[in-house]
Amino acid sequence: MKMKVAVVLGTRPEIIKMASIIRQLGKRQVDYFILHTGQHYSYYLAQVFFDQLKLPPAKYNVATGSSSHARQTAKMLIGVEEILQKESPDIVLIEGDTNSVLAAALAATKLFIKVGHVEAGLRSYDRRMPEEINRILVDHCSDYLFAPTHMAKTILLSEGIPENKVFVTGNTIVDAVYQHVEIARQQGNFLGTLGIKPKEYFLVTLHRQETVDDPVVFASVLRGLDEVAAKFCLPVIYSIHPRSRRRMNQFNLKPRDIKLIPPVDFLTFLELESKARLVLTDSGGVQEETCILGVPCVTIRNNTERPETVEVGSNIVAGTSPDRIIECVTIMLGRRTDWQNPFGDGRAGERIVSIITEVSNG
């Protein structure tokens, strides 16, 4: 039976994590199309990743843009539904926990189209995070749940999801990192343009709502980062998301010893990440990437939906107080970096496409 697949994505991490699946669909000559919701809409948060990863352009772009959660999700839901009605795919593939993922899952389910959720089963157990709500809802309306680890599968089964819907595939971020890290390391001298040397700087990413939308929390974290720079006498490079910069300006926060740089493309970020002495982040994807790259990570949050990184010793959850951030950086700098990567062998995309093609062929 001929199968048609819709790949729905909307943010930088989704483009990166769906890249190996898109390549496998093309390699196997599966009929597919890409639908971009436009949740990330600037060139440096969207199109540059299609260009660098040499992916075909999106056939559709809903051009949602930035708004409140309700407005953004509603606009996506309407746009995605219209396209799915027009195209009538057999399965919609989505990845992660964004509003794009929730909108696509709801639109497809209401149209009785099968949903495949890549990176299913992640939980922070913090309902204040909008991503947590999205993950739970999407998992419970999906037909195929591609769990990155056995721990994620256990979580899904504990929530009553039938075992025949759950497939442990590994995480497609491993595919992306393995395929591109050497290119990133050799592509140029971005470190030189910043005046830094390998393993002689800390890298920072902070963008989550619970981190940057609260002026007290954001100020506390920035104070902690200033103290890290002073205590360890190493540059702290913060690749700052536009939303985070807006909040910094809105709250009149002026970090003293942090070097702010604009968002960078995937290969440049991989170069920065792979050569950092340590990374401080509130990003789930960065926790995974650093684990794969053998770079210590300090998570600037009170929880993580990537507990595997903590278990293998690549990551520690610091919270947001300056003293605890300093303490955790000290701990991670003293650790060995020969932990085992728990996220798979870099063939997750291949497995996922094999599963959906086998199911369609009956």
Q: Which residues form the catalytic set?
A: 207
Helix axis angle, 172-186 relative to 348-360, nearest 10°? 140
> Among residues 144, 147, 89, which one has the least CA distance to residue 123?
147
Q: Using alpha carbons, list the distances in angstroms from residue 349 to 18, 96, 103.
A: 8, 14, 23
**β-strand partners of 258:** 236
> What burial class does residue 87 get, using C-beta atoms within 10 Å of its C-beta: 0-12 exposed, 13-18 middle, 19+ buried?
middle
| Alpha-helical regions (H) of 187-338 | 190-194, 209-212, 215-232, 242-250, 266-275, 284-293, 307-312, 322-333
Cα gap 353→184, rounded to integer Å? 26
Cα gap 124→139, rounded to integer Å? 14
